[in-house]
A and B are shown apart, each in its own frame.
Chain A
C-alpha cells in the first residue's frame, strides 16, 4: 500500500512575487525538475485564485515553462489596489509568494523524499500536519 501524504508547496518549491499595479505575478519553481508534473497537475489556476479570493482577486492565469521547469502565476486584482492604493503594509505584495507556498499538495510518501528542498525533510512537515 502506497502511503499518500500532504505537503505544503514550501517543502518542494520556491517562489518570488512581483507587482504591476493591482496585478501580482508569482513564480513557482520546484527544487527538483521531477516535481514539475506534480505541480502542473495540482497547482491549478482555480486553486491559486482561491488563495487570494479574500483580497479581491478576480482572475488567475498560469503560464507553464517546461524547459525552465517553472510556472508563472498572474493574478488580477490581488493587491487591494496595488502599492499606490492599498492599505496593506506590503502594498507591493512581495510576501505573497509565501502565501502561495502554503498551498498543500498530495503525493506518495515514497516520491516525497526525492522532491523536498535542500536541508528539508518530509518529517518536518508531517509533524506539523495535525
Chain B
C-alpha cells in the first residue's frame, strides 16, 4: 500500500457555495491519512474590489465570506492536523488572520497557529510605468487611470515555509492558484522544488482543483448527454498524490456531482492556452502528453504530466479605475413579442442619440440572441426563426461620465410608462468597472515574508 497525501479544495471563487467545505473535511478526516485543504477565492479583479473595501474600512479588504467559509471547519481541521491554505487574505491578510484568530479563540483553540504571507502587494514598491505590459485590457488609458491594486502572483515557496513553521492556517493574498495545492504537497513529501516533473504533477493537481466543483460536474451538467447526480449538492474535489507522484482526482463523499474522464478533461484544458506551456510561478507544466483513466467510481487517474524549470519572472497584475457600466432590462411578453422587443431596443438606442449621452451602447434581445451576439446586434437583427413567447430586452452602456451612464440606464426604467404594450419588469443599475494590465517582473524584485503566530497573540 503506497503512501497517499490528500488535498481538498473548498472554494473555487469568491461567491462559491458556502456549504462545500464540510463534506470535504469530513472525507479527509475519515480517510485517516495526512491531508490539507485550500480555498481559492481571488479572481483577477477581486483584489481590486478588496482594496476599495479596505480604503472604506482598514479592518476590511479580505474575502467577505471568510468567517462563513472557515468557521464551520476550523476546529475539525485543527484537531485532525489538516492545514488550511487560502488566498482569502486578498488585500488585507493581517486583518483576515485576526478574524481567523478570533474564531479559533472562540473555539478554545488559542494554540492554533496562523501564518500571514506578505510580499504580493507591490503597489508603490515597484514602478510599473517603466515595464512593458504583458497583457492589457483594451481601452486602458495609461496613467490617466488610477492604480487601485498591483499584486504579484507568488509561487509556493513562502506557503511551504509557513507550513514548515507549523502553521495550521496560511493566509495569503495573491498567489498563483496552483501554488495553494503545490505547497502542502511539497511540504508533505519533501521533494525538491526543482524536481520539475513532481512539481508539475502537484501543479496539475492544483489546476484541476482550483475551480472547485468544476472538476466534479460544475459548469458541466447538461440534462441528457451529461447527467450529474444532484447538481444542488455537488461535492468538491480531492486530489490524492502518492509517493511516486501519481495523481488521482476524486471528490467529497456523500455528495452529488461526479468525477469522470469527461469532467477531468474539461477542467484540464480550462483557461489553458498552449497545453505544452502552462506557466506557473513554480514550474512550466506540459500536459500535452497527459492520459486520464477512470479507476473507480468518481476516481480518475491523471498520468503523463511533465515539468520544465520555473520562469525567472513573476506576473504582476495591476488594476485600474475603469469607466462606468450602466445596464437596464425589461421584458416583453405574448403575441408579437419579437416585433415589440426589436422596436424597444431601437427606441432605447434612439433615446440615447437624441439626448446626446456620451456612452457606448449595445442592445440585446435575451431569448433571441445576446451572449453570442455582438454590439451591433447582428444576430438578433437577422433572426428569422420561431420567436419565444417572452423576450428580455437589455441595454448596456459604458462611459467615463457617471451621470450620462446613469441617465442612459434610466431610459429602460422610463419604458414602464413610455414603452411598448405588454412590457414590464424593468431593472437598472450602474457599476464602476476595473481594468487590468499585467507585467512580468524579475522574481528577485518581489521579496516575500512569512510570520506565524498563535491565535492568542493575534488580537
Contact = CB atoms under 8 A, between A and B. Distances in A.
Contacts of B267: 16
Given A18-B272, A87-B398, A118 B304 contact: no
Contact of A54 (B268, B270, B378): B378
Given A14-B226, A16-B266, A87 B375 contact: yes
Interface residues of A, number: 42
A84 to B, nearest CB: 5
Contacts of A83: 45
Contacts of B270: 16, 18, 25, 27
B137 A82 contact: yes
B372 A85 contact: no
Interface string A8-24: 00000011101111110
B371 A22 contact: no
A37 interface: no
Nearest to B397: A87
A56 B269 CA distance: 24
A113 interface: no
A84 B44 CA distance: 10
Nearest to B359: A87
Interface in B271-305: 271-276, 287-292, 304
Interface stretch (B93-101, B154-162, B245-253, B362-370): B362-370
Contacts of B357: none
Nearest to A27: B269
Interface in A48-79: 54-56, 63, 65, 67-68, 70, 72, 74
Interface stretch (B75-83, B197-205, B431-439): B431-439
Contacts of B129: none
B139 interface: yes
A98 to B, nearest CB: 8
Q: Which of A21, A23, A56, A119 has the most chain B CB atoms closer than 10 A to its own CB?
A: A21
B450 interface: no
B137 A16 contact: no
B372 A96 contact: yes
Given A84-B322, A84-B433, A25 B273 contact: yes
A81 B371 contact: no
Nearest to A116: B225
B224 A120 contact: yes
Interface string A95-125: 1101100000000000000000111100000
Contacts of B366: 89
A14 B275 contact: no
B138 interface: yes
A22 B226 CA distance: 29
Given A67-B289, A85-B435, A89-B364, A16 B220 contact: yes
Q: Which of B225, B262, B274, B362 has the most chain A CB atoms closer than 10 A to its own CB?
A: B225
B272 A25 contact: yes
A19 B436 CA distance: 14
A22 B438 CA distance: 13
Nearest to A96: B372
Nearest to A63: B275
A119 B224 contact: yes
Q: Which of A74, A81, A96 has the most chain B CB atoms closer than 10 A to its own CB?
A: A81
Contacts of B268: 68
Contacts of B378: 54
B219 A82 contact: no
B225 A56 contact: no
Contact of A20 (B225, B262, B273, B370): B273
Given A16-B269, A89-B396, 15 more contacts: A14-B225, A15-B266, A18-B272, A25-B271, A54-B378, A63-B275, A65-B288, A68-B292, A82-B137, A82-B138, A84-B435, A87-B360, A87-B375, A88-B373, A118-B225
8 contacts: A18-B270, A84-B433, A84-B436, A87-B325, A87-B396, A89-B371, A96-B371, A117-B224
